[in-house]
Amino acid sequence: MSRPTPPIYRTRNWPAYNEALKRRGSLTIWFDPEMSWDASPTGRRGRQQTYSDAAIQMCLLMKVIFGMALRQTTGFVESLLQLVGLDWTVPDFSTLSRRQKTLAVNIPYRGSKGPLHLLIDSTGIKVEGEGEWHTRKHGGPKRRVWRKIHLGIDEETLEVRAVEITGSHIGDAPVLPDLLKQIPAHERRPRPISNTIS
């Protein structure tokens, strides 16, 4: 059998094509002035936190997206806030470093219109640390470290709704209760099923 000839596409609308390519490089960062940047009082004894989890998460998001160090992230967020005219103070690098260890990440989502159908799956991720770098530099036995990331995805919107990271020996079933705890309570209510036989 002969192979089918692949179709040839010719660009005829060059101005629109060029504008589409330019839009790929555009950057829009929007700050909601109503966002709770300062932490609300916890009522517990001791020093209260200065910044909310949302503020810490936003700073760390900029760090990950642009691949910056913590001090660079602080300067970058300060300049962004000055550009939009907000007088919020920015967490210093030591605050970001300390809070990122215990930060409860809030995953934004649109939500489905009907019942939530959660798809659970996992994949392995290889952890590269000092051991692998040392092996590449000096040779020797290579010992790989694996982790497993478990994802709960909304079937309708294909948005990630829950995430857990475990060791490579943990299956999906034991992690399911922890994934379901990340779903709001009103979406976890079992819906009545009517079985009618005629």
| pLDDT tens digits for range 17-75 | 899 888 888 888 888 888 888 888 777 787 778 898 889 999 998 998 888 999 999 99
Query: How far is Cα 172 from Cα 181, in angstroms, rounded to an integer?
Result: 15
Residue type at 173 in one-letter notation = A
Residue numbers of the chain with a pLDDT score lower than 50: 193-198
Instruction: In whole angstroms, give the CA distance from residue 170 to residue 155.
Output: 23
What secondary structure letter does DSSP report for 61?
H
DSSP 119-164: EEEEEEEEEP-HHHHHHHHH------EEEEEEEEEETTT--EEEEE
What local confidence, expressed as pLDDT, does residue 195 receive?
46
- What would you report as the CA-atom Rg of the chain, rounded to the nearest whole angstrom? 24
Q: Tokens 């094509």 belong to which residue? A: 17
Euclidean distance between the first and final Cα of the chain, in Å?
54
Domain ranges within the chain, ordered by starting residue: 48-106, 118-188
Q: What is the pLDDT of residue 130?
A: 58
| Residue 90, burial from CB neighbour count under 10 angstroms (0-12, 13-18, 19+) | buried
pLDDT of residue 194: 46
